[in-house]
Structure 1
Amino acid sequence: MRKNPLTPNRPGVFMQMKPPFSRSSRLSPLLLTLLAFILFVSVLYAHNLLFISRQHPHPSGESHHFNSSPDVHHSSHIPERVIRRRQEAVPFAVGRTQEGCDVFSGSWVRDEAARPLYEESECPYIQPQLTCQEHGRPEKEYQHWRWQPEGCDLPKFNASLMLETLRGKRMMFVGDSLNRGQYVSMVCLLHRLIPPEAKSMETFGSLTVFTAKNYNATIEFYWAPFLLESNSDDAVVHRITDRIVRKGSINKHGRNWKGADIIVFNTYLWWMTGSKMKILLGSFDDKVKDIARMSTDDAYRMAMKSMLKWVKQNMDPNNTRVFFTSMSPSHTKSVEWGGRAEGNCYNETRPIEDWTYDWGGEAERGIMRVIGQVFGKSKVPITFLNITRLSGYRKDAHTAIYKKQWNPLTPQQLANPASYADCVHWCLPGLQDTWNELLFAKLFYP
C-alpha cells in the first residue's frame, strides 16, 4: 500500500515534513512543535472514514491482465457518499488507503513467487468440500493469481498484526457456506503462527469457534444463511427447497453475535429461489402458520434493514467494526463468457480474459440495487466489501468436481462430469484468500 507522507507509521510517530515557511521566518521551536502537532491531528482525523465502496471506471480499455470494466451494473447502485465518523479514529486502523485508491477495481496478475499464501496440506481446517488437490484436481493454476488494484497496492496480509489486534477479542463471520469459506481462509492464514497445543477448532450447532489460546482470541463462524430465522437454519440438514423466512426475527440468531468486536456478514445465495419468497409473519411454533409471499427484492430489503437495525443496537462504533461481503458469483453457464452452450466451470483453468465481462442477470442486479438503496439511506457505520466484480472473472477457481461427494454419483453423472460440477464454492487456497486480503486492507487502512 502506497502511503501518504502524512500517514502515521505507528501511534504518535509521523514522517518529517518541511514546514510551509520560508527560511527567513523566525518561529520558536515550541511554536513549530505545536503547529506540527496540530497538522498531524487534523490530517489523521480527516481521513478516518468508512466507505460504502463503489467501483471507479477503469481509465483505459487496454490491458493484458483482467481489468474491471466501466459502467458495471453491480457497482453502479452502490452509494457514492462517504459515511464520516464523528471525531473518533476508526477502530483498529493503523493507517489509511491512498487517496483515490479503489481496492476493488483492478486486475488479476500471475504471481508464482508469492501465491498461494499457504498450502492446502498445511491447513487441517479446510472442510472436504473445498480441498480440491486432495480430491484430484490435476493442476494448481487457480492458486497463482493475485489481485492488483489499479494505481495502488494492497497491503501485504500481516498475520502477526491480525492476531495481536484480535488479542482478547472475538472476530465473527455470519452467513452461509460462502462466508464459511472466507472464515476458513482466515483461519488458514493465521493458524501457522500458533503452536499446536495453543489452538483448537470446535463446533456447537450453528457456531464454529477457532480459539487462539495464547491470544485469548476467537475467530468464529455462525451459520445463518438468511441472517433472519428460517427453516434452513440447521447447520447440517438445511437443503430445503421450500424456503421460509420469518419476518423481524434477527434477534433469534443475533443473541449469539453479541460481544463480537469484528463481524463480517454475508447473505445472498439462499435468496435466489427463482420465485417469490415465503415470509412467516408469526412463529414457526404456530399450528396454523401465517405466510405471505414477497418479491425477492422486497424480502432481501427486509433482511438488510433488520441487519442494520441490529448493528445499530448492538455494535459500538467507537470500538467495533462491521463488514458486509457482496454477492459471490457462480459460473454455471460457460456461454456467458463465450464458451460452449452446455459447459460450465468444469475444466476451466484460467480467469475470464474479457475485461468487459459483466457477471449476473437482472435478479442479481436487483439485489445490488437493494443493497445500494438500503445502505445509502443508513447512517450505521458498515464497510462494504465489493468482491462481486473481481470474483466474477474467476471461473477457474471453483471446486467443480474436486470435492467430497456426499451422495453416490450415478453412471450418467460419471459419464458427464460437468453435470455435477460445483460452480458455486471455491477451492482453498484460492480466491477467498483475496477476499481476506481486502478485508485486512479495509480493517487496518480504511
Structure 2
Amino acid sequence: MGTNHHYAQNHQQNANCFTKKLIAWALYSLIPLALIHFYLFPISPAQTPPITETTIEHSKQTNPQCDYFNGTWVKSTINPLYNGKSCGTIKKGQNCMVHGRPDSGYLHWRWKPENCQIPPFDPTLFLELINNRHVAFIGDSMARNQLESLLCLLSTKSEPELVYRDSEENKFRRWVFKEYNVTVSVVWSPFLVKGLEKSAASGLNHNKLYLDSADEKWASDLNKFDVMVFSIGHWFLHPAIYYERERVLGCHHCPEFNHTEIGFFGIFRKAINTTLKKVKDELNMSDKLVVVTTFSPAHFEGEWDSAGACPKKVPYKQGEKEMEYMDTEMRKVEIEEVMTAAKEVEAIKGRLRIEALDVTRLALMRPDGHPGPYMNPNPFSEGKKERVQNDCVHWCLPGPIDSWNEILLEIVKRWRY
C-alpha cells in the first residue's frame, strides 16, 4: 500500500510538472505569432483614439434617445469659451463684440432639450475623438459660420494652423491641429449639386442648378473626409433655372424666361437626395460620419436695410414663436431624406453613419443672436441712421451657433462609441 501510494504521488507530480511546461511552451509560442500578426496587421491610429480619463468619463454621458429639436433656451452663468478678441478665425461680419455691439445678454443662454442634457462643449474630447481624422464643413455661408464657431471652440485647447486658402475669397480653407493630427476644412458649395451662381462677374441674375450631379468641388475629395457636415438652404430662395438630364426642368422666380415656375421645395429635396446618394454610393462600407445641419431661419423684421431689422435682445419663450411654413418645409425635406438614406445604409449593413443636426427650432427661437447692424464696425458712431445694413441670417461669434457644435459633439460621441 505504501509503495503504491508513493508511486501515485510521484506520477501526479510528474504530470503536474509536464502540464506547467506545456503551458509555458504554449505561451512562449504565442509571442512570435503575435509579433507576426501586428507586423502584418498593425493597429491604425486613425481607428484607435487615445483612451483618456476624459474620454472614458464622457462615454458614460451619451444619450442616443435625445431629441435636440424640442426644448427651450435657459439662462446660463457660464461664459463663452472664447470671445471676439481671443479667436482669430472669426469672419469680421460675425464679430459682434469687436464691432461694438453694446449688449451682451445674448451670450448667456443655453439650449435645454426637453428630455436630456447637453454638456458644455469639451474641446479636448472633440479633438481626441477625431484624432488623425478630417472634418469638412460643406455648403454655404451657414456652413462657414458653424465651422468658424468650431474653430474658435477648439482653439481654446489647441491652436489651428491655416495650411490652405483660396486667394482672398476664403471659400476654401483648411486648418490643422498638429497636436492631434486633426484637419478641419470648409468647402464652398451653396447647392451641393453642380451649379452656377448668379453674380455681377458672371453676368447671371439667376442661379443655374444641375440637380442630378453632385458638385465636384466636394465630391472629388469625398474619400479624404471622415466627418462631413452639410449645410445649405438660403441660396435656394434666389431666382434659379433647374436642369435635370441636360434639359430644363423648370425655374423659380424667372418671369423673363418661358419656363415653368415650380418653386424650390422639390428642388431642395432633389439636391439633398443627390448629395446623400453620392455619399452612399462612395462610402457605404466606410466608417465615416455624415451630418446634415437643418435649415436656420432668418429674423428680418421689415426691410433688410432699415434701422432695427432684427431688434430682439432676448430669445423667444417656448410657445411664443411658431415656425413659418417655409422653415417647416425646408427642415422636413432634410429630416426625411436623412432618415431614408440612413435606413438604406442600415438595410445593407453598411458602416456609414448619416444623421441630422436638427437646429431649426433652436435657431428660430434666437432672434437676438444675429449681428444685425454690427456686421460692420461701430455702425452708429456718428449717430443714429434710418438706413443701415443688417445681417439677420448669420450668427454672432460667440453666440447661439456654438450650441450647434455642442450637439455635433454629441453626434460624434455616438458615432465613435
The normalised TM-score by structure 1 is 0.67
Pair 1:375 & 2:345 matched? no
In the TM superposition, what is the alpha-carbon distance from 1:317 to its structure 2 partner? 5.2
After superposition, residues 28-107 of structure 1 pair within 5 angstroms as 94-95=59-60, 97-98=62-63, 100-107=65-72
- Counterparts of 2:203 and 2:404 in 1: how far apart (Å)? 26
Whichever residue aligns with residue 396 of structure 2, its letter is C
> What's the counterpart of residue 34 of structure 1?
none
Cα distance in 2 for partners of 1:264, 1:238 equals 28
Amino acid paired to 1:435: W
Aligned alpha-carbon RMSD (Å): 3.4
Q: Report the 3-state secondary structure (helix = DSSP H, G, I; strand = E; otherwise coil) of the residue aligned with 1:357.
A: coil
CA contact (8 A) 1:176 1:224 kept: yes
Contact 1:348 1:395 in 2 (8 A): yes
CA 306–164 in structure 1, closer or farther in 2 if over 3 Å, else same: same
Q: Which residue of 2 aligns with 1:203?
A: 165
Question: Structure 1 residues 105, 116: closer, same or farther in 2, change over 3 A?
Answer: same
Q: Secondary structure at the match of 2:333?
A: helix
Residue 427 of structure 1 is matched in structure 2 by 396
Provide the aligned length of Structure 1 versus Structure 2. 334
- Partners of 1:204 and 1:107 in 2: CA distance: 39
Tell me how far apart the structure 2 counterparts of residues 120 and 237 of structure 1 sit (CA, whole Å): 33
Measure, in 1, the Cα distance between the counterparts of 2:394 and 2:66: 29
2:135 to 166, 171, 178: 171
- Does the aligned pair in 2 maintain the 1:135–1:402 contact within 8 Å? yes
Displacement after TM superposition at 1:319 (Å):
1.5
Q: Which of residues 350, 364, 369 in structure 2 aligns to 1:397?
A: 369
Superposed displacement of residue 134, structure 1 = 1.2
Secondary structure, counterpart of 2:74 in structure 1: strand
Shift of 1:386: 0.9
Task: Say yes or no: does 1:267 pair with 2:232.
Answer: yes
Letter paired with 1:387: V
| Structure 2 contact 72–318 (Cα < 8 Å) conserved | no
The 1:220/1:282 distance shift into structure 2, 3 A limit, reads same
> Structure 2 CA distance, aligned partners of 1:346 and 1:364?
17
Does residue 194 in structure 1 map to residue 176 in structure 2? no
**Greater gyration radius:** 2
What runs of 5+ residues in structure 1 fail to find an aligned partner? 1-91, 284-288, 336-341
Tell me the distance in 1 between the aligned counterparts of 2:314 and 2:372.
14
Amino acid at match of 1:321: L
How far apart, in 2, do the equivalents of 1:157 and 1:218 lie?
19
1:415 to 382, 385, 389: 385
Q: Is the 8 A contact 1:333 1:343 kept in 2?
A: no
Q: Which residue of 2 aligns with 1:364?
A: 327
Q: State the match for 1:325 in structure 2.
A: 293
Could you list the per-position Cα deviations for residues 257-308 of structure 1 after superposition, in whole angstroms to 9, with x for gaps in the alignment? 33200000011111013x6x4113477xxxxx96743431221121111111
Give the secondary-structure state (helix, strand or coil) at the position aligned to 1:382: strand
Q: Give per-residue Cα distances to partners, 1:166-189, cap 9 Å, x unaligned.
A: 222100000110110100000001
Change (3 A) 1:177 1:239: farther
Which blocks of at least 5 consecutive residues in structure 2 are unaligned?
Answer: 1-54, 252-261, 346-352
Q: Return closer, same or farther for 1:305/1:414 CA change in 2, 3 Å cut-off.
A: same
Q: Which of residues 358, 375, 383 is equivalent to 1:386?
A: 358
1:344 Cα deviation from its structure 2 partner? 5.5
CA distance in 2, matches of 1:94, 1:158: 13
**Aligned partners of 2:163 and 2:116: how far apart in 1?**
36
Query: Residues 372 and 185 (structure 1 numbering): CA distance in 2 closer, same or farther, change over 3 Å?
Result: closer
Which range moved further: 240-249 or 431-440?
240-249
- 1:103 to partner: Cα distance: 2.7
Where do residues 228-243 of structure 1 align in structure 2 (5 Å cutoff)? 228-232=193-197, 241-243=205-207
Q: Which has the higher helix share?
A: 2
- When structure 1 is superposed on structure 2, of 171-180 and 375-384 the one drifting more is 375-384
After superposition, what is the alpha-carbon deviation per residue over 1:354-389, rounded to whole angstroms, capped at 9, x for unaligned? 52411323x333323333443343324411111010
Go from structure 1 to structure 2 and tell me whether the alpha carbon gap of 1:237 and 1:109 turns closer, same or farther (over 3 Å shift).
farther
Structure-2 residue corresponding to 1:295? 263
Contact 1:329 1:388 (8 Å CA) reproduced: yes
1:348 aligns with 2:318: no
Among 76, 80, 96, the alignment partner of 1:132 is 96
Partner Cα distance (1:265, 1:238) in 2: 26
Pair 1:305 & 2:273 matched:
yes
Provide the residue aligned with 1:212 in structure 2. Answer: 177
Taking only the aligned residue pairs, the percentage that are identical comes to 27
Of the three residues 222, 230, 244, the one matched with 2:187 is: 222
